[in-house]
Structure 1
């Protein structure tokens, strides 16, 4: 096969990976956002499933945490839906919101540790997937085009 055919196959082969990592990040952001919304609703209702630890460095009222998680969850779901457009701004916003969600869930650890750890892992995968998609797309754009 010619070099042009191989290069063309490599160029089109990279595209589905970029879009699949972005789609993966979008689905995981929507999942994580919905879970944060449920977490927020439970905290606002002051459900009995939460363990309130005393003398924790990031001690907020449970209702305050509920509103933080509810609003952050809505923003994460909206950013995840925007990722399906493939726009660069959606990736940047997605990385920023996933980072904020990681921080919020880290501070939420004493209230519901298992749930917080799962959401931290989801946010880490989202950030990784969005960064991998950006690096692969930018490397495709810098490759010389052959006729």
Structure 2
């Protein structure tokens, strides 16, 4: 369920970055610099994929114990961690919160019981 909930803010971040570049505040002297419009598109696409995968994974595959669903969930949450790490110069507090949620998702998917163990 966290993946579903986590995908929605990413979609809104992507829309905000695409719609209005000057809304994004960038710190000086950051070690990497990217176009906020480009990251907006990446966030929009990643947010939609995470949201849809969260619905499909939570509703169908994870509860049946499919290993591929765990792998896909960990992969998508890992991509979200990378995207939020690169978003740190723009919104550091928000990025750290979302990274913490993504780490919780990865932890839950890696340590949760599977149906085969029940």
TM (norm. structure 2) is 0.86
Distance 1:139 1:30 in 2: 25
Say whether 1:79 aligns with 2:58: no
Distance 1:71 1:110 in 2: 21
* Alignment RMSD (CA, Å): 1.8
Deviations 1:28-83 (A, max 9, x none): 10111101000000000125442122432221111001001101111111111122
Say whether 1:46 aligns with 2:20: yes
Distance 2:50 2:22 in 1: 26
Number of residue pairs matched?
A: 113
Partner of 1:63: 37
Write out the 4+ residue segments of structure 1 that deviate beyond 4 Å after TM superposition. none
Check conservation: 2:17, 2:23, Cα contact below 8 A: no
Q: Which runs of 5+ in 1 are unaligned?
A: 1-26, 142-147
TM (norm. structure 1) is 0.70
Larger Rg: 1
Distance 1:58 1:100 in 2: 17
Distance 2:69 2:11 in 1: 20
Say whether 1:89 aligns with 2:68: yes
Q: Which runs of 5+ in 2 are unaligned?
A: none
Deviations 1:95-134 (A, max 9, x none): 001001001101100101121111101101100110112x
